[in-house]
Amino acid sequence: MARVAQAQPRTRNGKRVFKKSRSLLRKRAGVEPRYQLMFAEKANYPVRWMSKHLEVSRSGFYSWVSLGCPEDDWSCVREAVYRVWTQSDRRFGARFILAFLPDEFRGTTLYRVRKCMRELGIKGCTPYKSKRTTIPDKNAKPKPDLMRRDFTSPIPTYKLVGDITYLRTHQGWLYLSTVIDLNTRMVVGWSLSERMTADIVVNALASAKARGYVAENAIFHSDKGAQYTSRLLAEWARDNNVRLSCSRTGNCHDNAVAESFFATLKNEMYYRRSFSSRAEAKMAVINFIESYYNRKRPHSTIGYQVPAEVMEDFFKRTAPKQPALQKAA
């Protein structure tokens, strides 16, 4: 008995500590009753604190809540909110979740979605502040501002905006140039390079042109970075009948759409990962743009529709009708 007593932890007054003694005197409550207690008291106590003292996992509690609690009238809504959130790779906030809820939940309010998210302990991606990095060419010929902060377009392929952003990898910097259509908010052209030269801009525009996303006499708006005021871009624009437009240096509001896309890219993908090589980052960026942003992610400016679907609908409506084949006599 002496050896057993010495093996047990002691308090300062020499008495033994029975860490799990409560289970010897009475039957321990199951997991579900503890979850029910946490759900009833979540407005009064933090879930983290209750899960620690009741010795249950927070993830288990949130899973139990998402599946529906007894006598919970909103369990179906909560389950739908959780499903949409997980399908978005845990990116969507309340507004996007509300837009993507199934038809049977169309009467759900934004307040209810936010409340469900709080109860589930989930949230969308939090925006990070970005730093402006435009390097102007002081010797470049000035170009007019054809947009004048009017980032609307009556039809797709007519008004485009572009910008360049930096992406850090363990192998070095990677630069991304994009071309965005103002009507559909679709990224219609992009280019990735290890060097930030004028070629990256021309390649992004050329890819958009090759896919039919640059109309004749279209406007391409950008900042006054050296890549956008270069002779190479000016020659390409002249040969392809594209008008160049420039904003003021260092004013992100003059090119807000392009800045907004980069913020989305970084908040919803880039900041959540670490890239060991440029090749790994390239694949992630391409997948984000082509598989997710253009074809799955709703955009508030176009009524929470998906950009690629809006673009596809435009081409269907404007495509020349094929003459009906006449039956042989």
Dump pLDDT digits (tens) for 142-194.
678 888 878 889 999 999 999 999 999 999 999 999 999 999 999 999 999 99
Residue 63 lies in a domain: yes
pTM: 0.66
Residue 108 lies in a domain: yes
- Highest mean pLDDT out of 90-99, 169-178, 319-328: 169-178
Q: What's the mean per-residue pLDDT of the chain?
A: 81
Order of strands across the sheet that contains 187-193: 187-193, 172-181, 159-169, 218-222, 242-246
Residue 105 or 196, more confident: 196
Domain that holds residue 196: 159-315
User: In terms of Cα–Cα distance, which of 274, 315, 270 is closest to 289?
Assistant: 270
Helix (H) or strand (E) holding 187: strand 187-193
Mean pLDDT in residue range 25-46: 72
Same domain, 234 and 194: yes
Residue 246 lies in a domain: yes
Q: Is 311 in contact with 296 (CB distance < 8 Å)?
A: no
Angle between helices 31-41 and 58-67 (to 10 degrees): 80
Mean pLDDT in residue range 198-203: 95
Distances in Å between the Cα of 297 and the Cα atoms of 84, 100, 101 are 12, 10, 13
Q: What is the pLDDT of residues 97-140, one digit of tens each?
A: 888 788 788 788 888 888 888 878 887 776 555 545 555 555 55
Dihedral angle of Cα 224, 207, 128, 175, to the nearest 10 degrees: -70
Same domain, 111 and 188: no
Q: What percent of the chain has pLDDT over 90?
A: 38
